[in-house]
Structure 1
Amino acid sequence: MGEHGFDLPPKATREVMDWREELADRTCEALAQAGLPAHRVDLQGRPGANVQVDPLADGGVLVEWGTQEELATAAVDLLESGVDPSNLPHAIRHYETVQTCMRDAILQILASAGFHVARADAHTYGSAVHVKGRTL
């Protein structure tokens, strides 16, 4: 049990983390070959595919699309100001469309390149793609 009275999720072993780091590098390479800007998480915030390694035992390699700051900021600002969920402003709908289209494109591109991919758990990882391994 952790110091605050609850169990922390188990971390992946060093061997698993090394494998995930290699998988993340191959993921970036495959996306770059397809013409998409791809970056490891240490450069997150840049537009393009942000690839990160989740250190939890049940984690993995995740890819999430990052838009230009102006698009994301416009959507966040509107959400923070309070909006009617039944009538979302155009900026929010556009941001959501971009995220969905790019997630689906990344899924298809990586699958075509020989990766085993799936939509990540939306509750935990939002619109990310979970890269589970390579099939080739």
Structure 2
Amino acid sequence: MSENDFNLPPKATPDVMRQRTELAGKARHTLTQTGLPVCREDVSTGEPGVTVRVDPLADGGVLAEWATPEEFTSEIVKILASGVDPSNLPQRLRHYENVQTCMRETILNILASAGFDVERADAHSYGKAVHVRGFDL
């Protein structure tokens, strides 16, 4: 336990963070070559596109995720805040989920085709992100 009486998850070592940062750069470059708009999370402008970020936790890694335009995301948040029946989701919400799922699969397939070791990230922790585990070439 820490002096604050709670445990924080362990952080990755500086060497691991350097490796992840390099891997994230390769993933960004690969995705950019396909014509997809790509940005780093730490310099995000709120524009739509693929966000590639490095998770600093020891069990984290490199994550790539599709970001929709702010107005689309805000619309979905409003729909969810108003309350929805899970058995009868509004069409706009179903569309948003479909876009997120399709873009995750697109990102995953592009990176896998280029030689990256990728998988769907844990949905509970990372939503619709792709976990970039390594580069095999």
TM range (shorter): over 0.9
Question: Comparing 84-93 with 125-134, which one deviates more in the overlay?
Answer: 84-93
Measure how far apart 1:90 and its partner are.
Answer: 1.3
Among the aligned pairs, what percent are the same residue? 62
- 2:43 paired residue number: 43
Identify unmatched segments of 5+ residues in structure 1.
none
Could you state the TM-score of these two structures normalised by the residue count of structure 1?
A: 0.96
Partner of 1:54: 55
Q: Secondary structure at the match of 1:22?
A: helix
1:73-88 map, 5 Å: 73-88=74-89
Structure 2 counterpart of 1:71? 72
Which SS does the other structure have where 2:112 is aligned? helix
Shift of 1:8: 1.0
SS of the counterpart of 1:24?
helix
In 2, Cα distance between the equivalents of 1:28 and 1:36?
Answer: 10
Q: Which shifted more, 64-73 or 50-59? A: 64-73
1:63 Cα deviation after fit? 0.7
| Partner amino acid, structure 2, of 1:125 | Y
Matched AA of 1:16: V
Counterpart residue identity of residue 114, structure 2: A
1:3 and 2:3 matched: yes
Indicate the SS of the match to 1:64. Answer: strand
After TM superposition, the score normalised by the length of structure 2 is: 0.96
Which residue number in structure 2 is paired with residue 18 of structure 1? 18
CA offsets, 1:10-49, max 9 Å, x none? 1100000000001111110000001111111123332000
Root mean square deviation of aligned Cα: 0.9
Which amino acid in structure 2 is aligned with residue 112 of structure 1? Answer: S
- How far residue 132 of structure 1 moved from its aligned partner, in angstroms, is 0.3
